[in-house]
Structure 1
Amino acid sequence: MMDLQGQFLIAMPHLDDYFHRTVVFICEHNEQGSMGIVINQPTDLSIAELYSKLNFMMKNDRTFDDAMVVAGGPMHMERGFIVHKKTANDFQHSYKITDELSLTTSADVVDTFGSLQAPEKYLVALGCSSWGAGQLEQEIMDNTWLVVPSDESILFDAPYEERYLAASRLLGINSHNFACAQVGHS
């Protein structure tokens, strides 16, 4: 079985569904299936607005950058998923992705945003992407996805609209090198 946890999936150009020109960070991959977060589809909701909505009528004296919440995938759009750097304190519902990165699904991480207790870097998503057992491996064999080791600067810092090209460059590919037709399989 491939080890995809902590990797990026780069959608091939012929994908014309929800995943068109997306980069997915794989948070979990095992015999039961896979789960990941699309990292390059920002919503119109900023993290500051999310914090304010979750802490309605509470005084907000915190400082936020201009980061946006991303649309993490077509599944569970009502749920929040936070990929973040390892922290000194654990959160209620955290899952270790790699030695340096975790996925948290509990609101206690959001309570730290804008404070000194916040993770050094984090990505907030509404929704996730998931695949059943063997489904993602089959899609990779069908040339739907390219796989590349993830890069934290792309995951957390690159402008959203540049993440697809930046992830492709990790493989030495420029967007004009992609053929739009599927080749290599008959």
Structure 2
Amino acid sequence: MTDAQFLSGRLLLAMPGMFDPNFDHAVIAMCLHDENGALGIGVGHIRPDMGFHDLLKDVGIDPGMSPDCPVHHGGPVETSRGFVLHSSDWGGEGTIEVVPFGGLSGSLDVLRAIAEGRGPERWLIALGYAGWGPGQLDAEMREHGWYAAEGYPAILYENPAEQRWMSAWKAEGIDPAHLVGQTGSA
């Protein structure tokens, strides 16, 4: 893949008129993207049926003094698998560095650390992920579907999920009301 645009550390924003209604107004924090495929965590929608304390109780961890916050709908793949996207001040076994966001952890260790008050300073949790096979995301980027915004940690950690899509567009200097929901070909 010589002309590939690897998107790790970027925010993928669903374009208006996205071909897949599962990704309407989606914001995907891209964690891995290389010639083998891509993996991102959805951070634009929360799961209305579950909070962080519910999730901790489901896996047998006492929530302790941890804040009860929303759990994000990370994507349509493996929706029962949990991921924590967090600042770089915490790194346990299996943590993947994701510049500029920090790291991505999928172990119970990070959940225990958060519940015990010794986890990362900033974090969010998601169930599921968005995944693409080799070349699949590259093809979608050439079609009308995604916009690759800069990876803004402040948008990720300081904005509620429902504001991230609009906040990321604004940070890019784009008013999404001016974008069209379809493309043509000549």
- Counterpart residue identity of residue 149, structure 2: V
Say yes or no: does 1:2 pair with 2:19: no
Select which of 61, 69, 73 maps to 1:71: 73
Deviations 1:39-85 (A, max 9, x none): 011012111222233236x5x53131x52110100001110011111
- Counterpart residue identity of residue 47, structure 1: F
Structure 1's consecutive aligned runs of 4 or more residues displaced over 3 angstroms after TM superposition are none
Select which of 53, 57, 60 maps to 2:58: 53
- Residues 107-122 of structure 1: matches in 2 within 5 Å? 107-122=108-123
Root-mean-square deviation (Å) = 1.7
Say if 1:48 and 1:157 are closer, same or farther in 2 by CA, change over 3 A.
Answer: farther
1:92 corresponds to which residue?
Answer: 93
Q: For 2:136 and 2:40, how far apart are their aligned partners in 1? A: 13
Deviation at 1:144, TM superposition (A): 1.1
Deviation at 1:170, TM superposition (A): 2.1
Say if 1:140 and 1:100 are closer, same or farther in 2 by CA, change over 3 A.
Answer: closer
Say if 1:172 and 1:158 are closer, same or farther in 2 by CA, change over 3 A.
Answer: same
Q: For 1:160 and 1:101, how far apart are their aligned partners in 2? A: 18
- Structure 1 window deviating more from structure 2 (26-35 vs 156-165): it is 156-165
- Counterpart residue identity of residue 98, structure 1: V
3-state SS of paired residue (1:49): helix
- Counterpart residue identity of residue 130, structure 1: G
Q: For 1:32 and 1:181, how far apart are their aligned partners in 2? A: 29
Say if 1:30 and 1:155 are closer, same or farther in 2 by CA, change over 3 A.
Answer: same
1:144 corresponds to which residue?
Answer: 145
- Counterpart residue identity of residue 58, structure 2: K
- Counterpart residue identity of residue 40, structure 1: G
Deviation at 1:10, TM superposition (A): 0.7
TM-score of the aligned structures, taking structure 1 as reference length:
0.89
Q: For 1:141 and 1:129, how far apart are their aligned partners in 2? A: 18
TM-score of the aligned structures, taking structure 2 as reference length:
0.89
Select which of 44, 54, 65 maps to 1:62: 65
Q: For 2:82 and 2:161, how far apart are their aligned partners in 1? A: 18
Deviations 1:83-139 (A, max 9, x none): 111125x31221111266111010110001144311011110100000111111111
1:31 corresponds to which residue?
Answer: 35
- Per residue, is there more helix in 1 or in 2? 2
Say yes or no: does 1:176 pair with 2:181: no
- Structure 1 window deviating more from structure 2 (90-99 vs 30-39): it is 90-99
The number of residues matched between the two structures is 181
Q: For 1:53 and 1:171, how far apart are their aligned partners in 2? A: 39
The answer (yes or no) to whether the contact 1:82–1:122 under 8 Å persists in 2 is yes
Deviation at 1:154, TM superposition (A): 1.2
